Amino acid sequence: MLLFRRQMLRLASAVAMSVLVAGTAHADQFPSRPITLVVQAAAGGASDLVARLVAQRLTANLGVPVVVDNAPAAGGVVAVKRLVRASPDGYTLMICGTKSAIAESLFKSHPYNLSKDLIQVAPIVSTDLALVVDGNSKLKNVGDLVREIKTRPGKVTIGVGDTIGGIQHLAAELLKSSVQGNFLIVPYGSLSKLEVAVRGGEVDAAVELVPGLISLLQQGGLRALATTGKERQGDLPNVPTIAEAGLPKAELTPLSFVAAPAGTPAAVIARLNAALKKVLAEPEFQKAMTSRGLRPVSAESSADAQRMMDADIEKWRGIVKLANVPLQ
């Protein structure tokens, strides 16, 4: 029996060593062919822009083409399912973030588990939302809006550029809870429709992601009362944070990560993480992001990135519950 156990231990050790050697050899060769970077949004939007800039810089750093592939269907679920089913070899990656984190709480049954079926390789950017009004609005600050809400309960209208359960809608619901007053949230489904509504006086104010608002704010058509991050936006230095405006519980910072399928070798993940950190440290990349209302975000390791995503899932789970969004 003792001899048998020793033989089995030697066999297990040999198998483990062969797996380690194989994984190391794979990592040493990685990457040796083009990498696909899947995006959960259509071409032309903020997510697509980030993906293309990341792909461009990764191509230079890794020495192989990194090709962006847009898969915007079904609220991003199609893109995640594609990544989950991909070979775990590092050659299929995805831009994954708060949109997917929210989806974890919106469906009665889910075709994947974001924390178990994906590996978050590294965070890349964060952004804020902005509370905005028409450029000629009588509302000059958040205090003015809060007074209107308290004075006219249920009468003030705040528009959002997405649908129920989206980032902007949930941010407006969190704002409602923070104000401790009642107002009507009006989903418009797109930024273009929301802009028309705000400038035409259909709604009193709006909550929208900063990247889509930058040019409108700089041109003066819309005016920002506050942004939802912990720090002021670099291109909007005179706009206070929501905490500075007196509503710290309304702070929100949507995140984006690069993710890989679960089972991707640790050495490959480490190689990708190092390459992404190098991209994030490049001054040109940082400038490109900040000028569009985005902030580069780094993490020491993939494990740190995973913890950030898990925390994001839980944060938005609480907001979905607060908003009483019906499950799909």
Query: How does DSSP assign 264-326, residue by residue?
Result: --HHHHHHHHHHHHHHHH-HHHHHHHHTTTEEE---SSHHHHHHHHHHHHHHHHHHHHHHTPP
The encoded tokens of residue 17 equal 């060593």
- Give 111-151 pLDDT, tens digit per residue: 888 899 999 999 999 999 999 999 999 999 999 999 999 99
Q: Are 204 and 132 in contact (CB under 8 A)?
A: no
Whose tokens are 């050495």? That residue is: 267
Q: Are 239 and 228 in contact (CB under 8 A)?
A: no
Region 69-86: what's the mean pLDDT? 84
pLDDT of 107 > 60? The answer is yes
- Give 150-205 pLDDT, tens digit per residue: 999 999 999 999 999 999 999 999 999 999 999 999 999 999 999 999 999 999 99
pLDDT of 26 > 80? The answer is no
The encoded tokens of residue 206 equal 């709006």
When comparing pLDDT for 76 and 128, which is higher?
128
Q: What is the pLDDT of residue 2?
A: 45
Report domain extents, the chain: 31-127+254-323, 129-250
CATH for 129-250 (3.40.640.10, 3.40.190.10, 3.40.50.2300, 2.102.10.10): 3.40.190.10
d(CA 162, CA 148): 24
> Is domain 31-127+254-323 annotated with CATH 2.30.30.760?
no
DSSP-based three-state secondary structure for 164: coil
**Averaged confidence pLDDT in the chain:** 89
d(CA 254, CA 129): 8
Domains 31-127+254-323 and 129-250 share a fold: yes
DSSP-based three-state secondary structure for 95: strand
The encoded tokens of residue 76 equal 């991003």
- Give 32-61 pLDDT, tens digit per residue: 999 999 998 888 777 888 999 999 999 999
- Band the pLDDT of 19: cuts 50, 70, 90: very low
DSSP-based three-state secondary structure for 98: helix
For 170, counting Cβ atoms within 10 Å of its Cβ (0-12 exposed, 13-18 middle, 19+ buried), the class is buried
Q: Are 148 and 204 in contact (CB under 8 A)?
A: yes
Q: Work out the number of other CB atoms within 10 angstroms of the CB of residue 231.
A: 11
